[in-house]
Structure 1
Amino acid sequence: MSATEQVITRNMNHVLENQPKNTCVMLDDNGQEVKITKDMVVNMCHELLNQCRNVKN
């Protein structure tokens, strides 16, 4: 069960887990959680850097 599903199921009660996890998620168009990977972050940083270079020139 995803964190979002837990919040809905438990009526917004605290859904914190005891052990912190190094995960990050985003919601897709259907409201499903999609894990954000390191590769996704690196690719986005490269795209932003290229956009900044284009604006500067």
Structure 2
Amino acid sequence: MSDTIIKQSLKVLDANKSLHNGYIVDEQGKEVPITTAMVRTVCHQLLKQCRNIKN
């Protein structure tokens, strides 16, 4: 997936401001909201892993 496609996808996600809340539970059992930044970070990590597998 090219960086251009990723950037275009992020613009679409940012433009779509529908509210969906998701939470994870930390070590102390507290709910922590899942942020857009968290999702982006994980997506970038997965993309890097996929590129490493291809090479």
The interval holding the TM-score normalised by the smaller chain is 0.5 to 0.7
- Richer in helix (by share): 2
SS for the counterpart of 1:29 is coil
Per-residue CA shift, 1:13-40, capped at 9, x if unaligned? xxxxxxxx62100000111100000111
Alignment match, 2:50? 52
Larger Rg: 1
Distance 2:34 2:48 in 1: 21
Alignment match, 2:39? 41
Dislocated runs of 4+, deviation >4 Å? none
Runs (5+) with no aligned partner, structure 1: 1-20
For these two proteins, the number of residue pairs brought into alignment is: 37
Alignment match, 2:14? none
Q: Taking every aligned residue pair, what percent have the same amino acid on both sides?
A: 49
